[in-house]
Structure 1
Amino acid sequence: MGEEADGFSDAGQAPGTEGHRQRLRDRFEQAGHEALADYELLELLLFRSIPRRDTKPIAKRLIARFGSFADVLSAPRRRLLEVDGVGPGVVQDLKVVHAAVQRFARGRVERKTVLSSWSEVLDYCRAAMAFSDREQFRILFLDKKNALIADELQQTGTVDHTPVYPREIVKRALEVSASAIILVHNHPSGDPTPSRADIQMTRQIVDIAAPLGITVHDHIIVGRQGHASFRGLKLID
């Protein structure tokens, strides 16, 4: 269904909508986003996408379908369009906000020594990948000072598998003159616990990279339930 659903067109407006909108704006201005529930923050965003309708029911349907504000922003376009009241314009606005979140998080990592900005690195990885419905494999390439040279999404797979080619990863590190790399991938299931295949693949990359002078600083797995660090788990020396 598109933005014309629920009996309201752009020519009309739900009774009492403007007063409700102003009260929600005032709460946001006075108390900040932490004072708002996920559906209320989403509702506030939808005000701009749907100017003449009550957006609360739409926001609640989106949260009920996907689970959280972050999940809504990360949801596939085709699934967002399945929600009553959501049309292409709404989806585009949600995706613009999602892109802005990722760009902001990445900006906090760029031009910094990555290992001294670890919380920002984790925030960026979660923003970029944690809520995706498909596995993705990303590599952060670092120079001798551990500053970010490049950030590349190498592969996108299925809901539970991404093909990874260790020699190609090391080859790419050599091409960009990286001295170190950080491996990142997501688990759409939400549980970031490394699988046996994850551990074996990481060891292969370490074994190939080490003789060439390339250090694998860490392999981070992100999911809705948090993250797992191979170095923290002592799976990388």
Structure 2
Amino acid sequence: MSEHDGHRHRIIEKLDTGVLCEHELLEILLFNALPRRNTNDLAHRLLTAFGSIRGVFSASVEQLKLVDGVGENVAAYLRCIGRFYETYYEADKEAFPRRFDPESFISYINERYARMDREVLDFYLLDERKNIVFCKRFTIDNPQRVVMKPEELTKLILVNKPSGVAVVHNHLSGSCFPSPSDDKTTNQIQLICSIHNVLFCDHYIYSPVGVYSYYRSGRMKEINREFSIGAILKERGGV
């Protein structure tokens, strides 16, 4: 028996004990969809994206396909068997708050991002009541930097149709104050959100010394105004 097969055998044996983490339940479930692949990483990515098992199985096929490693067949598989795991829903612990509140969200950031060992850029999508419905994480193999392409954010908005967006970025060390690159990214996000009539609520930057909020600093209103599609068209004489 290979090491890979041995891991699968051990984790399946744990089903009878009832001592299983959420990602392990999802990992086992994915065995049937991906019989020859390590499903542990994909299970973690799904939980990061949707916050919980409930979120994974409530997501649409198109939303599931936004997660790296999820194709058409896996997305359809997860969507079809979502109801099977309803018994787990009440015990489910959310990975992020159900509702976005600018002040309490900072406490959540301090707790969650303190454990990060690489830079990430997370987009929390909000519905019209400011409930958090989806989290998309951008990261690359280099732990010291993160890249978000404009077309990726555009696709994220078009598929999910959020009313608002809150963004969290982390610095692994040093100050939480934004760098010129952070400012450029913030301006770019605001412009894309403006084009699609999505409210860009805040951009938080976490570092071990604190959390910076563009909104609390007073800069968010200025950015919302200056980098709106209406302001740019007016400046260029388009309206």
Q: TM-score under structure 2 normalisation?
A: 0.50
1:134 and 2:137 matched:
no
Q: For structure 2, which runs of at least 5 residues remain unmatched after alignment?
A: 1-47, 53-91, 222-239
1:33-182 alignment to 2 at 5 Å?
106=94, 109-110=97-98, 112=99, 114-115=100-101, 118-156=102-140, 158-182=142-166
Q: CA deviation at 1:105?
A: 8.7
Closer, same or farther: CA 190–228 of 1 in aligned 2, 3 Å:
same
Q: CA deviation at 1:168?
A: 1.3
- Alignment partners' CA distance in 2, 1:168 and 1:134: 20
CA distances 1:85-116 after superposition (whole Å, capped 9, x unpaired): xxxxxxxxxxxxxx9xx989955711x3x13x
Closer, same or farther: CA 161–212 of 1 in aligned 2, 3 Å:
same
- Alignment partners' CA distance in 1, 2:118 and 2:193: 27
Closer, same or farther: CA 234–119 of 1 in aligned 2, 3 Å:
closer
Q: Which residue of 2 aligns with 1:64?
A: none
For 1:233, give the aligned amino acid.
S
**C-alpha RMSD over aligned residues:** 2.5
Is the 8 Å Cα contact of residues 125 and 135 (structure 2) preserved in structure 1? yes
Identical-pair percentage:
23
Q: CA deviation at 1:143?
A: 0.6
For 2:195, give the aligned amino acid.
P
Is the 8 Å Cα contact of residues 134 and 159 (structure 1) preserved in structure 2? yes
Q: Which has the larger Rg?
A: 1
Q: Which residue of 2 aligns with 1:216?
A: 200
Partner-residue secondary structure (3-state), 1:144: coil
Q: CA deviation at 1:174?
A: 2.2
For 1:211, give the aligned amino acid.
I
- Alignment partners' CA distance in 2, 1:107 and 1:132: 14
- Alignment partners' CA distance in 2, 1:145 and 1:126: 24
- Greater alpha carbon shift after TM alignment, 208-217 vs 164-173: 164-173
Closer, same or farther: CA 127–157 of 1 in aligned 2, 3 Å:
farther
Q: TM-score under structure 1 normalisation?
A: 0.50
Is the 8 Å Cα contact of residues 128 and 163 (structure 2) preserved in structure 1? yes
- Alignment partners' CA distance in 1, 2:202 and 2:124: 10
